Structure 1
Amino acid sequence: MTTRLAVTVSHEATHTLVTLTGELDVISGERLRPALDKLLDEGHTRLVLDTTGLGFCDSMGLRLLLETHDRAVEAGGFLKLAGVGGAFRRILTVTGLYAAFSIYETLPDALAAVAD
């Protein structure tokens, strides 16, 4: 069984943009983890994750995002979630994790926060 998760990474002057499209679950999360770990290991600790195209996220996906957030913050950076809506917003709210992240409704809102 495979799930579809497309990941694109763009290094900008003030941050690294990671765009997630599809489903983040136990299977795709284990494929995403090495990419996020590599970014952090290389010193890219100012992360903006565009989740506009994320249709689903399970508990393992949430755990991966939380671990990545914690590593980025420990290294003096951040992880901002942009484009949070629909089912992803609901699961963050229901689990109480909405308050654990810096969350922005749109990518432009998150990028404006990075620029401040």
Structure 2
Amino acid sequence: MVTPARETGIDIRVWREGPCVVVGMAGELDMTAVPRLRAELDIAMEEVRPPRLVLDLAETTFCDSLGLGLLVGTLTRVRDAGGRLALVVANGMISRLLAITNLDHHFETFPTAEEAVAALASRNGGRE
């Protein structure tokens, strides 16, 4: 599903890749985009149990405190459900934000969605 940028300031794509659900977004993750992304993440978390979620932020150009809160809250929810969350981040604003907040030590990060999916698929501990 794609949400037009003119409506929310972001484009969101959701697809199934092997044992994972990938949520890709492009644009700014700010107070206007958080509710839409949260709704998509809620749906994505129900697709696979335990959740194996890849959040592709490679084309995300900005993230405010509400967006960062959504990322941390999603990580907590996924872990509480016995799942795993991987972030795809490019060099830029999001990777710097994770580093300065020390969250880069808490999130599994990858340069591409393919690498994130491969890592979550290979480390599933036999769970389906």
Q: Tell me the SS of whatever aligns to 2:94.
A: helix
* Structure 2 gap segments, 5+ residues each: 1-6, 123-128
Distance in 1 (alpha carbons) for counterparts of 2:116 and 2:18: 15
Cα distance change, pair 8–88 in 1 and its aligned pair in 2 (3 A): same
Q: Is the 8 A contact 1:49 1:81 kept in 2?
A: yes
- Matching residue of 1:89: 95
Q: Decide whether aligned partners of structure 1 residues 107 and 12 sit closer, same or farther in structure 2, where only a CA change above 3 A counts.
A: closer
Q: How does 1:1-116 map to 2 (within 5 A)?
A: 4-40=9-45, 42-44=46-48, 45-116=51-122
Q: Please identify which structure carries the higher helix content.
A: 1
Distance 1:79 1:4 in 2: 24
Counterparts of 1:55 and 1:38 in 2: how far apart (Å)?
24
Task: Please state whether the residue corresponding to 2:85 is helix, strand or coil.
Answer: strand
Using the alignment, how far apart are the partners of 1:34 and 1:27 within structure 2? 13
The TM-score normalised by the length of structure 1 is: 0.88
1:74 and 1:115 mapped to 2: Cα distance? 19
2:96 & 2:72 partners in 1: Cα distance?
A: 16
Contact 1:7–1:19 under 8 Å retained in 2: yes
Moved over 6 A (4+): none
Distance 2:52 2:117 in 1: 11
Instruction: Give 1:94 deviation, angstroms.
Output: 0.9
CA displacement at 1:102 relative to structure 2: 0.4
Query: Contact between 2:34 and 2:70, CA under 8 Å: does it hold in 1?
Result: yes
Which amino acid is the alignment partner of residue 50 of structure 1? D
- Structure 1's unaligned 5+ residue stretches are none
* TM-score normalised by structure 2 residue count: 0.80
